[in-house]
Amino acid sequence: MKRFVALPHKKYPIFIERGVLQQLGSLLTGIWSPRKIAVVSDHHVAPLYQERIVRQLEAAGFRTATFQVPSGESSKSWETAVQLYRSLTNNQFTRSDGVLALGGGVVGDLAGFIASTYMRGIAYIQVPTSLLAQVDSSVGGKTAINLDTAKNIVGTFHQPDAVFIDPDTLQTLPQRYICEGYAEIVKMSALEGGAFWQMTGEVHRPEDIVTQAEPLIHQSIAYKTKIVCKDEKESGLRQILNFGHTIGHAIELLSEGALAHGEAISIGMVQITQCFANYGLTKHGTLDGLVQRLQQTGLPLKSSLMSTADVYRQITNDKKNHGGRLTLVYLEAPGRPAMHSIPISQAELFLTGKKAPNSD
């Protein structure tokens, strides 16, 4: 199946199909003219897919150069970015060449950032191999690297020319990372509500995520593309996709790698929903429904970091902090996301239930 992201300045396809990686070379000839392609992957994904992808690309008339980065969030750094810039320069990549991101969210964010900034921007393709990247980070054009003080704090909006999603890649993904990707699916279903919310209610164990992967991916992509097409650069509506991310990003950074992104977002969604439920702004039963969906797949619901001052200090570095105010996304009910702005100085008081929403 093929979907499209249709923006005022660009339209690009998203291919979602089992076995689509076996057709990548031929499909790409309909999108790109012959050129040199930098295939960027990591040490885990490259041994699984890189050779076959390169073989297909070269059979289709493309020239390739391969680049591998260490697996994990630490690769989203200035140091890794500079190494890739130098590699592209040493291999004489020009503005008419392209980048192919082959891997999970880290590789996609990093390779997209490189593509958006090398020679002031070159084309790139997303080939996400993790569930989290397939349903979220590969679509929408956000690219970023981290600093030690904040996650995704340096980045760009740079749309890919195409996204190729093959659910068969989930067969090589450890269960933990299938579940962490599912956290983003639950997030999307909570925001949309209706049939999508009911669909996630029918996932009772991690194995169900894999067997129902295609419809879950389709629904997630459909919802995200709808939001992105209305607000590409997060000036308004797209901010709702940050549900769970203000707390989640802070916990993820402070966990120093102990929590995967989706695990931190799971905690963030539960904590923010509990907060607004305590204030009477979230419909009864919403928190229970969210907890049930996350808990049945083994995702974490809380963290000891929430009791530390560090997490609230970290929230002050959140990129959603504008003019001294922080915008929090919450649910009035499934399918009814809302936003509430608070002074950043009152974040700890508000999130710990000591500052009512209308008292600032």
Please write the tens of the pLDDT for every residue from 238-248.
999 999 999 99
Among 84, 86, 26, which Cα is nearest to 58's? 26
Which amino acid does the sequence have at 205?
R
- By mean pLDDT, which of 65-74, 119-128, 350-359 is the weakest? 350-359
Provide mean pLDDT across the span 330-357.
91
Contact 188, 196 (CB under 8 A): yes
pLDDT at 125: 99
Residue 354 in contact with residue 296, Cβ under 8 Å? no
Q: What is the mean pLDDT of residues 339-345?
A: 93
Q: What is the distance between the alpha carbons of residues 300 and 282, in angstroms, rounded to a whole number? A: 21
pLDDT of residue 138 exceeding 70: yes
- Neighbouring CB atoms inside 10 A of 359's CB total 10
> What pLDDT was estimated at residue 273?
98
- End-to-end, the C-alpha distance of the chain in Å comes to 49
- Tell whether residue 235 is among the known ligand binding residues: no
User: Which is it for strands 321-322 and 325-333: parallel, antiparallel or unpaired?
Assistant: antiparallel
Calpha distance 178→198 (Å, rounded)? 20
- 3-class secondary-structure state, position 92: coil
pLDDT digits (tens, 9 = 90+) for 262-303: 999 999 999 999 999 999 999 999 999 999 999 999 999 999
Going by C-alpha positions, the residue among 270, 238, 274 that lies closest to residue 353 is: 274
Q: What is the mean pLDDT of residues 122-135?
A: 98
Give the count of alpha carbons within 13 A of 305, CB side only: 25
Chain position carrying tokens 């994904």: 45
Which structure tokens are listed for 266? Answer: 């799971």
Is 2 annotated to bind ligand?
no
Q: What is the per-residue pLDDT across 29-40, written as a single tens digit (0 to 9) for each?
A: 999 999 999 999
Could you tell me how many helices (H) and strands (E) the chain has, helices first?
14, 12
The answer to whether 64 is a known ligand-binding residue is no
pLDDT value, residue 359: 52
Provide CATH code, domain 2-170.
3.40.50.1970
- pLDDT for the residue numbered 353: 85
Beta strand pairing status for 336-343 and 325-333? antiparallel
Residue 323: the pLDDT is 83
Grade residue 8 by pLDDT with cuts at 50, 70 and 90. very high
User: Is 72 labeled as ligand-binding?
Assistant: yes
pLDDT score of 241: 97
Looking at residues 82-108, what average pLDDT do you find? 98
Active site residues: 120, 142, 184, 224, 234, 238, 242, 245, 249, 261
- Encode pLDDT of 217-228 as tens digits: 999 999 999 999
Distance CA 127, CA 134 (A): 8
DSSP string, 62-94: -EEEEEEE-SSGGGSSHHHHHHHHHHHHHTT--
- CATH assignment, 175-352: 1.20.1090.10
Whole-number pLDDT of residue 148? 84
Q: Which residues of 25-62 are buried (b: 16+ CB within 10 A; e: fewer)?
A: bebbeeebeeebbbbbbbebbbebbbeebbebbeeeeb
What is the rounded distance in angstroms from the CA atom of residue 80 to the CA atom of residue 262?
A: 23
pLDDT at 46 over 90: yes
Which residues on neighbouring strands pair with residue 142, listed in sequence order?
157
Tell me what the pLDDT averaged over the chain comes to. Answer: 95
* 245 annotated to a ligand binding site: yes
Residue 356, pLDDT above cutoff 80: no
The model's confidence at residue 360, banded by pLDDT at 50, 70 and 90, is low
pLDDT exceeds 70 at position 358: no
Ranges of each domain in the chain: 2-170, 175-352
